[in-house]
Amino acid sequence: MHHFHYHNNCMYCEDVPVPEIAQKTGTPFYLYSHATLRHHFLVFQKAFEGIPHLICFSVKANSNLAVLRLFGNLGGGLDIVSGGELFRGLKAGIPPEKIVFSGVGKRRDEIVYALKSGILMFNVESHQELELIDRCAARLNKKAPISLRVNPDVDPGTHPYISTGLKTNKFGLSEAEAIEAYRWAGGRPHLNVIGISCHIGSQLTEVDPFLDALRHVKDLIAVLNASGISVTYLDLGGGLGITYDQESPPLPSEYGKAILETLGDSAFTLILEPGRVIVGNAGILVTRVLYTKKSEGKDFVIVDSAMNDLVRPSLYGAYHAIEPVIKDPSGTIRADIVGPICESGDFLARDRKIPEVQPGDLLAIMSAGAYGFTMSSNYNSRPRIPEVMVKGNQFYIIRRRESHQDLIAGESIPDFL
């Protein structure tokens, strides 16, 4: 479900015609629907209403302050993986006691920042990290709230780059290591063991791998309980997929129901870390056709956005639907939709059937709200593009386009040159 629709053959975001925004901001730009973001968050939250829970939106999927503030206003917390994401979360006004800190490579300065900020918990991924958190907490004379991330060795059946719960992945602790780490942590005065967590991958389109992981975690909790260790928070991570093309992932309500059934009676506060399912289909990338070109046996549509703006097609071979912003009853072509970057890997779609287009036409790259802007870069010294949010019949620039000056801010030429 989303709020991008056609009216008289013109694409609207909620009540605003997309060409009107393009006119004002220039292209390319990311465009988010406030109504879709809000709806997705509320639907997800509702799926868990039978049990105490906290929805910690995964900041890596979309880290714009306005987006984070919106979820905060709806009662959400955050899943962060860096000091930078913590800074954003706090700037957006998210209460630190609703923030969980995941990631295999937390640095000392990031741990100290999080301890001083008073986050809800660290999802710890190794014994060495646990020791470092213990030392940092002792120095600050604090008790660090921790949860251990276990790797349940479940195959999520997703792209290998985004599966994280197999024992061959770098994430989490094996069950045996986790038991050992819980015992060790239990005896440390500056660690407060409050949770257990797992995250098995992203863009999952079946519910079963989540349930397998949950069963593993439940078994582990039983083992821990038997040796006198108990936890309050059960963090099941994120990972629920969306429809980019033909996928039919479970609805959040089905996902929630299956999890609550598998969980059974429990006294836990459940934490979920959804990213993509909340923001993915709430955003599009609007780009303009620069040129069309025919090489031998191949059509190219060259647009003004590129792999530096949306890297998912180049990096994962990911599919994003491409729609014309103005529908016109012309014919169709089959073409590669490519950007201006000097690499053959710079494409947004390959061999794609799209309506015939002319230079100047606008195209919408759909489902670009998750891992779109957040993975963008300045490659080829291309300024990063604006992010715009529509609410009703108004639109707001929630991040301005970078300037050429922004590109060199922070650089300096040493005197010897």
* Catalytic residue ranges: 342
Residues 338-397 that bind ligand LLP (CB under 6 A): 370-371
Secondary structure letter of residue 162 according to DSSP = G
Question: Looking at 23-31, 251-259, 273-281, 290-298, which segment touches ligand LLP (CB under 6 A)?
Answer: 273-281
Q: Going by DSSP bridges, is the β-strand pair 362-365/283-295 parallel, antiparallel, or unpaired?
A: antiparallel
Residues 179-218 that bind ligand LLP (CB under 6 A): 199, 202-203
Using the rule CB under 6 A, is 61 a contact of ligand LLP? yes
Using the rule CB under 6 A, is 150 a contact of ligand LLP? no
Using the rule CB under 6 A, is 58 a contact of ligand LLP? yes
Using the rule CB under 6 A, is 102 a contact of ligand LLP? yes
d(CA 105, CA 385): 29
Using the rule CB under 6 A, is 237 a contact of ligand LLP? yes
Which of 125, 129, 134, 273 touches ligand LLP (CB under 6 A)? Answer: 273
Tokens of residue 97, six digits? 């006691």
d(CA 54, CA 37): 17
Residues 78-97 that bind ligand LLP (CB under 6 A): 79
Asked if residues 277 and 247 have their Cβ atoms less than 8 Å apart, the reply is: no
Residue whose CB is less far from ligand LLP, 324 or 372? 372
Q: Residue 147: name the closest of 48, 79, 49, 71 by CA.
A: 79
Provide the minimum distance between the beta carbon of 161 and ligand LLP in the complex, in angstroms, as a whole number: 7
Tell whether the torsion through CA atoms of 400, 392, 320 and 277 is positive or negative.
positive
Provide the minimum distance between the beta carbon of 252 and ligand LLP in the complex, in angstroms, as a whole number: 11
Using the rule CB under 6 A, is 276 a contact of ligand LLP? yes
Which of 312, 320, 384, 391 touches ligand LLP (CB under 6 A)? Answer: 312
Helix axes 83-91, 65-73, angle to 10 degrees: 60
Provide the minimum distance between the beta carbon of 290 and ligand LLP in the complex, in angstroms, as a whole number: 25
Using the rule CB under 6 A, is 12 a contact of ligand LLP? no
d(CA 163, CA 44): 22
CA 241 to chain centre: 11
Asked if residues 270 and 48 have their Cβ atoms less than 8 Å apart, the reply is: yes
φ, ψ at 283 (rounded to 5°): -135, 150
Please count the residues of this chain forming the interface with ligand LLP, following the rule CB under 6 A. Answer: 22
Using the rule CB under 6 A, is 288 a contact of ligand LLP? no
Residue whose CB is less far from ligand LLP, 72 or 249? 249
Which of 165, 274, 339, 386 touches ligand LLP (CB under 6 A)? Answer: 274
3-class secondary-structure state, position 123: strand
Q: Residue 85: name the closest of 101, 70, 74, 98 by CA.
A: 101
Using the rule CB under 6 A, is 238 a contact of ligand LLP? yes
Using the rule CB under 6 A, is 126 a contact of ligand LLP? no
φ, ψ at 337 (rounded to 5°): -100, 115
Provide the minimum distance between the beta carbon of 253 and ligand LLP in the complex, in angstroms, as a whole number: 16
Using the rule CB under 6 A, is 28 a contact of ligand LLP? no
Greatest alpha-carbon span in the chain: 71
Secondary structure letter of residue 271 according to DSSP = E
Residues found near ligand LLP in the complex (CB under 6 A): 58, 60-61, 79, 102, 162, 164, 199, 202-203, 237-240, 273-277, 312, 370-371
